[in-house]
Chain A
Amino acid sequence: MKKKKIYPMYFLIIPIVLYVVFFLLPSILGIAYSFTDWNSRSMDSVKFVGLDNYIEIFTSDKNYISGILNTLKFTVVSNIVKLIPALFLAILLSEKLKGKGIYRTLLYMPSILPFVIIGIIFTSVLNYNNGLLNIVLEALHLDFAKQKWLSELSVVWKSIYGVDAWRGIGYVMTIFIAGLSTIPRSYYEAAQIDGANFWQRLRYITIPMLSSAVMINLVFGITYGLKVFDIVYVLTKGGPGHATEVITTYSYQLYSNGQYGLSTALNTVLLVVTAVIGVFVVKKMSKQEVQQ
């Protein structure tokens, strides 16, 4: 059989061209423009300015660095906050339990809704005077726990993590449940006979056998965390002050101000971070494929 004839290369044209022109090219142009003074007034006469934009990002008093650090912090914390509870929930819902189908469906539901919607719902829930959360705390006589959830510097990040977990835990949990379903029951029975307790079973059977589910959750979670925008933008707009600003919110703000060069420089920082992580993961995946 002539492979060339039945598997023609023109099948590849549409996706590859679109991907290259409208996905990759902007990223590459972004790197190029990050060394220029491109802005809303300089439309056609863009000047090369060397590393000025990067110097601005890393030395100015505008706190871009805190935006970068916030992005990294969000990526780490939001994943921990979701992955660990989700694992326990998945274990709980993999055992015999009446009505677990309903529990699964309900817990998964928030992750299908747009972030904008969730952001608006929680602007209401976290409202200081009438919001649901403070009302419930009051009803439970826990008045001391009441907070200005979205405007108090010390709790605003916790609110964001909370909302993010509220949306994302069901998704992570669903992937873990699928992973758990592939572990043979006999492993646990053998462990039980040997007298292994819950933690030992978790440590020596569940977690090692779940490696590919953990991997998928981490890859999705990390790429999501680094690119996070919607939830922060809708809940706090980066405030109070610039306390919850992340790379993407700064980048959008600079774009709206017409400081395109600086905005792409910030995007390029993000690109470099994700590229390093991405290359690592793709290498790992291609190695797995070779082994198969």
Chain B
Amino acid sequence: MKVKTKALSAVKHLIMILLCLVVVVPFYMVFINSFKSRPEAARMSLSLPTEWVFSNYTEVIKKGKLVRGFLNSLTYAGVSTFIGVMGSAMASFVMSRRRTRINNFLYYFVLCGLFFPVNYVTLVKVLSVFQLTNTKAGIIITFTSAMIPFCVFTIRNFISSVPVEMDEAAVIDGAGPLSLFFKVIMPMLKPTVVTCFILQFMSVWSDFLTPLYLSSKSSLAPMTMAVYQFFGKNQQYWNYVFADIILTCIPVIIVYLLGQKYIIGGLTAGAVKE
């Protein structure tokens, strides 16, 4: 019996290690080849570089317009997520506390957006009416609008668990709606708001379709777009492409490692409900 369980756990470890290798080896390949010279990187082998070429990185930052891409991505993800999450939190608060017929309708009405695809062709037209085509504001508004259904869904569920007595006590102490929300409710919502913020920040950061439709000017391109365009122009220079990939991944991996607790918690909140 004991031998059997030991053998079984060895098999389990073997499976997991093999799978982890499948995940890690491509990353390792990209990483190690980003330090090679052009002909060596084109062979894409797993061996260490014969000569470490660190200049790939400085070169790619210049050629790939990565600083601009990084700042654009940061602006889009930061601003749209901030407005989206705060706005959704306020709306969810009222929708959850005042369950009138209109509010319930609005809730399910917004929820439909979880499924609908965005129609980018007509979106461009709508943006042009507001003179927002090819502007940063237009891209930010698009991202904000697209994240509202998810945020409202997640945050409203959470608010139900915040006791109403909190509101009553605050109101008796003379708080108005704004100070009630920002001083009393918002601190209680921190876990779910942070989760929403991180998840949406990362999904805006990763998004590719929106800038593809909305930014014909390369000065508006976020990092994903910059990498893709760079890849299109430099397919023969795998050393640069790999360095570019590493630089684009670093911010997301940092956010992931810092917010891991919240990400997993947020993802799984729905799964453990009931």
Contacts and interface: CB of A to CB of B under 8 A. Distances in A.
A107 B19 contact: yes
Given A11-B91, A120-B241, A114 B206 contact: yes
Nearest to A288: B274
Nearest to B265: A178
Contacts of A144: none
Interface stretch (A48-56, A74-82, A266-274): A266-274
B122 A30 contact: yes
A178 B123 contact: no
Contacts of B119: 26-27, 29-30, 264, 267-268, 271
Which of B12, B26, B117, B248 counts the most chain A CB atoms within 10 A? Answer: B117
Please classify how large the interface on chain B is, using the bins under 10, 10 to 19, 20 to 34, 35 or more. Answer: 35 or more
A212 B88 CA distance: 24
A98 B98 CA distance: 49
Interface string B86-120: 01101101110110000100101011111111111
Interface stretch (A125-133, A152-160, A200-208): A125-133
B35 interface: no
B23 interface: yes
Nearest to B264: A174
Contacts of A100: 16
B270 interface: yes
A33 interface: yes
B85 to A, nearest CB: 10
* Main SS at interface, chain B: helix
B228 interface: yes
A22 to B, nearest CB: 4
B44 to A, nearest CB: 5
A3 B98 contact: yes
B3 interface: no
Please classify how large the interface on chain A is, using the bins under 10, 10 to 19, 20 to 34, 35 or more. Answer: 35 or more
B56 interface: no
Which of B26, B152, B231 counts the most chain A CB atoms within 10 A? Answer: B26
Given A18-B87, A166-B23, A212-B271, A7 B44 contact: no
Given A14-B83, A117-B227, A175 B117 contact: no
Contacts of A176: 271
17 contacts: A8-B94, A11-B94, A29-B122, A30-B122, A116-B227, A117-B245, A132-B46, A170-B23, A174-B264, A174-B268, A175-B267, A178-B267, A178-B268, A226-B117, A229-B209, A278-B115, A282-B108
Interface of A: 1, 3-9, 11-12, 14-16, 18-19, 21-27, 29-30, 33, 89, 92-93, 95, 97-100, 102-103, 105-110, 112-117, 120-122, 124-125, 127, 130-132, 135, 166, 170-171, 174-179, 181-182, 212-213, 216, 219, 223, 226-227, 229-230, 233-234, 248, 251-252, 255, 260, 263-264, 267-268, 270-271, 274-275, 277-279, 281-282, 285-286
Given A121-B26, A130-B42, A275-B116, 8 more contacts: A14-B90, A18-B87, A19-B145, A25-B126, A92-B12, A92-B15, A113-B206, A176-B271
